[in-house]
Amino acid sequence: MSQDDHAAALALAGEAADALRSATGADDIHAALVLGSGWVPAADAVGRTVAEIPVTDLPGFAPPAVAGHAGRIRVVSTASGRNVLIFLGRTHLYEGLGVGPVVHGVRTAIAAGAGTIVLTNAAGGLRPETQRVGDPVLISDHINLTGANPITGARFVDLTEVYSRRLRELARAAEPSLAEGVYVAFRGPTYETPAEIRMCRAFGGDLVGMSTALEAIAAREGGAEVLGLSLVTNPGAGLTGEPLDHQEVLAVGRATAARMGELLATVVDKL
């Protein structure tokens, strides 16, 4: 992506934000949530639905291509009366559409006024000795192995604190048992090999998945604070000897939807 393409992508996000306001009547978005695989059933607990539209009603959004991603955008009003934007699904880099569409939702949310971005995902757990399937884990940092970056040109964005310490403290106040971990992002769509999982463990990874890192970078470029939450849906490849299956990911999401919804509702209301 050239610098001109980058500027065009930001302009497209502005157009999408304008279309969002027109379609939903919400012009005071406080925060935005991106719900990953298995997280969509938790959305109902976040707040009262004000409006909901297909993502394809807005410029620049692609239709969903992954099971468990609804391809809709919802505006909800939280218990404190704030409007929050919820993306019921996301675009992944492995879909082959390029980096721009992957981060378009985050850029649109920021253009619509969101100062906080909450990124959720389904992740493989790299520490089965301390992680249980179904546990939420705060993302303290990430390692980007996608080979991509949403920023081009001489824009040197500080990533010392990609995932806000302040927001992590708010989340732990809501649920003190929350653990933290480093998320390792791969391009996908293949799951990682056992050798890659051993590599990730060796250099400090705690979670592994196919999303989130590029969105977090784009959010920081846009000046938003970022909170990351992973739902551990399976141990990483080779750690238990069992094969990996996307249906297992969705099943864990359904089984934990109530707990994840309560957690999101509590955290979002404190933002």
Over residues 99-140, the pLDDT tens digits come to: 999 999 999 999 999 999 999 998 999 998 888 888 899 999
In the chain, the amino acid numbered 196 is E
Would you state the pLDDT for residue 253?
61
Would you state the pLDDT for residue 93?
96
Query: Is 37 marked active-site?
Result: yes
Would you state the pLDDT for residue 250?
66
Query: Is 196 marked active-site?
Result: no
**Please, what is the average pLDDT of the chain?**
88
Cis peptide before 41 (omega within 30 of 0): no
Choose among 260, 198, 269: nearest CA to 235. 198
Query: Is 15 marked active-site?
Result: no
Residue 9 Cα to chain centre, angstroms: 19
Query: Is 199 marked active-site?
Result: no
Would you state the pLDDT for residue 243?
66
Would you state the pLDDT for residue 203?
94
Distance CA 163, CA 140 (A): 6
Contacts of residue 168, defined as CB under 8 A and 6 or more positions apart, other chains included, come to 138, 140, 180, 227
Active-site choice (213, 234, 257, 260): 234
Would you state the pLDDT for residue 66?
63
**Residue 223, phi then psi, degrees to nearest 5:** 90, 10
Active-site choice (30, 69, 104, 142): 69
What is the residue whose two structure tokens read 């675009």?
A: 91
Please, what is the end-to-end C-alpha distance for the chain in angstroms?
Answer: 33
Would you state the pLDDT for residue 108?
97
Active-site choice (70, 210, 216, 224): 210
Would you state the pLDDT for residue 41?
76
Would you state the pLDDT for residue 55?
92
Q: Are 137 and 206 in contact (CB under 8 A)?
A: yes
Contacts of residue 19, defined as CB under 8 A and 6 or more positions apart, other chains included, come to 57, 58, 59
Q: 86: helix, coil or strand?
A: strand
**Residue 129, phi then psi, degrees to nearest 5:** -70, -20
Query: Is 149 marked active-site?
Result: no
Query: Is 142 marked active-site?
Result: no
Would you state the pLDDT for residue 77?
92
Would you state the pLDDT for residue 261?
81
Query: Is 6 marked active-site?
Result: no
Residues (pLDDT < 70) of the chain are 1-3, 38, 66-70, 237-238, 240-246, 248-250, 252-255, 257
- Which helix (H) or strand (E) is 230 found in, with range? strand 225-235
Would you state the pLDDT for residue 3?
66
Distance CA 183, CA 212 (A): 9
Pull the structure tokens for residue 203.
């250099």
Would you state the pLDDT for residue 67?
57
Active-site choice (92, 144, 185, 213): 92
Work out the number of other CB atoms within 10 angstroms of the CB of residue 182.
Answer: 19
Active-site choice (45, 122, 185, 260): 122
Would you state the pLDDT for residue 251?
72
